[in-house]
Chain A
Amino acid sequence: MGNNALSRRNFLAGTSVLFVAGVATACSSGSSSSSTAGSKVTLTQWYHAYGEKGTQQAVERYASEYTKANPDIAIKINWIAGDYETRLNSALLSSDAPDLFELGDFRAANVKSGRLAPLDDILAPVKSDYAKAALDTATVNGKVYGVKMMDDVMMLYYRKSILAKAGVTPPQTFPELVAAAKKLTTGNQKGLFIGSDGVGDIPYLLLWSNGGDLVDPSGKTVTFASPEGVAAIGGLKDLNSSGALLQGFTTDWFDPSALVQNATAMQWCGLWAMPDIKKKFGDDFGVIPWPKFGDAAAPAVRVGGWYHLVNAKGKNVEAAKKYVDWLWIQQTALQKDWCVSYGFHIPSRKSVAAQTTEFSSGPAQEAAGFSQQYGHSFPAVWNKTTTTAFIQAATKIAKGGDAAGELASAAKTCQIELDHQNA
Chain B
Amino acid sequence: MPSATPTRRTASRPAGGAPPRRRANWRAIGAFALLTGPMVIGLGVFKYLAIGWSFLLSFNEARGTLTPGHWVGFDNYAFLLKDDSFRSSLWMIVGFTAFIVPVTFVLSLALAVGVNSVRRGRAFFRTTFLLPAAVSYVAASLIWKMALFNGLPSGIANALGGLFGMHVQPWLSSTDPPLYWFVIVTLRLWLQVGLYMILFLAGLQSIPPHLYEAAALDGAGRWKTFRSITFPLLRHTNAAILMLVFIAAFQAFDEFFNLFNTGQAGNASAPVRPPLVYLYDSALGDQNYGVGSAGAFILTALIVVVTLVQGRLAGFGRKD
Question: Does the CB pair B152–A248 fall under 8 Å?
Answer: yes
Q: Which of the residues B64, B134, B145, B198 comes within 8 Å of A113, measured between beta carbons?
A: B64
Q: Which of the residues B126, B153, B281 comes within 8 Å of A188, measured between beta carbons?
A: B153
Question: Does the CB pair B172–A248 fall under 8 Å?
Answer: yes
Q: Which of B121-155 contact A (CB under 8 A)?
A: 122-123, 126-127, 130-131, 133-136, 138-139, 142, 145-146, 149-153, 155
Question: Does the CB pair B263–A82 fall under 8 Å?
Answer: yes
- Docked Cα-Cα span, A378 to B262, in Å, equals 19
Most buried by A among B264, B268, B269, B288: B269
Interface flags, A376-404, vs B, CB<8A=1, else 0 = 00000001110110111011000110000
- Docked Cα-Cα span, A351 to B36, in Å, equals 67
- Docked Cα-Cα span, A399 to B270, in Å, equals 11
Q: How far is the CB of B156 from chain A (nearest CB, A)?
A: 12
Most buried by A among B135, B146, B266, B281: B266
The answer to whether A25 and B138 touch (CB under 8 A), given A197-B269, A385-B288, A387-B265, is: yes
Decide if B230 is an interface residue (CB 8 Å cutoff). no
Question: Does the CB pair A391–B268 fall under 8 Å?
Answer: yes
The answer to whether A14 and B261 touch (CB under 8 A), given A89-B284, A93-B65, A385-B285, is: no
- Docked Cα-Cα span, A36 to B266, in Å, equals 37
Of A15-23, A119-127, A329-337, A361-369, the one with at least 4 CB within 8 A of chain B: A15-23
The answer to whether A392 and B263 touch (CB under 8 A), given A26-B136, A93-B65, is: no
Question: Does the CB pair B131–A197 fall under 8 Å?
Answer: no
Question: Does the CB pair A25–B142 fall under 8 Å?
Answer: yes
Question: Does the CB pair A254–B264 fall under 8 Å?
Answer: yes
Collect the chain A residues with CB atoms within 8 Å of residue B268's CB. Answer: 387-388, 390-392, 395
Question: Does the CB pair A1–B202 fall under 8 Å?
Answer: yes
Q: Which of A246-272 contact B (CB under 8 A)?
A: 246-250, 252, 254, 263
Q: Which of the residues B122, B171, B286 comes within 8 Å of A385, measured between beta carbons?
A: B286
- Docked Cα-Cα span, A399 to B172, in Å, equals 12
Collect the chain B residues with CB atoms within 8 Å of residue A21's CB. Answer: 135, 139
Decide if A57 is an interface residue (CB 8 Å cutoff). no
- Docked Cα-Cα span, A14 to B124, in Å, equals 11
Q: Which of the residues B131, B145, B146, B286 comes within 8 Å of A18, measured between beta carbons?
A: B131
Q: Which of B148-171 contact A (CB under 8 A)?
A: 149-153, 155, 169-171
Q: How far is the CB of A304 from chain B (nearest CB, A)?
A: 11
Decide if A218 is an interface residue (CB 8 Å cutoff). no
Collect the chain A residues with CB atoms within 8 Å of residue B130's CB. Answer: 11, 15
The answer to whether A399 and B265 touch (CB under 8 A), given A90-B284, A93-B65, is: no
Decide if A199 is an interface residue (CB 8 Å cutoff). yes
Question: Does the CB pair B138–A83 fall under 8 Å?
Answer: no
Q: Which of the residues B138, B152, B169, B198 comes within 8 Å of A26, measured between beta carbons?
A: B138
Question: Does the CB pair B136–A392 fall under 8 Å?
Answer: no
Question: Does the CB pair A1–B173 fall under 8 Å?
Answer: no
A-B residue pairs in contact (CB < 8 Å), sample of 26: A1-B205, A1-B206, A4-B122, A14-B127, A15-B131, A18-B131, A19-B136, A21-B135, A109-B64, A195-B262, A196-B173, A199-B269, A201-B265, A247-B170, A248-B152, A248-B170, A248-B173, A250-B146, A250-B152, A252-B263, A254-B263, A384-B266, A391-B268, A391-B269, A392-B268, A417-B286
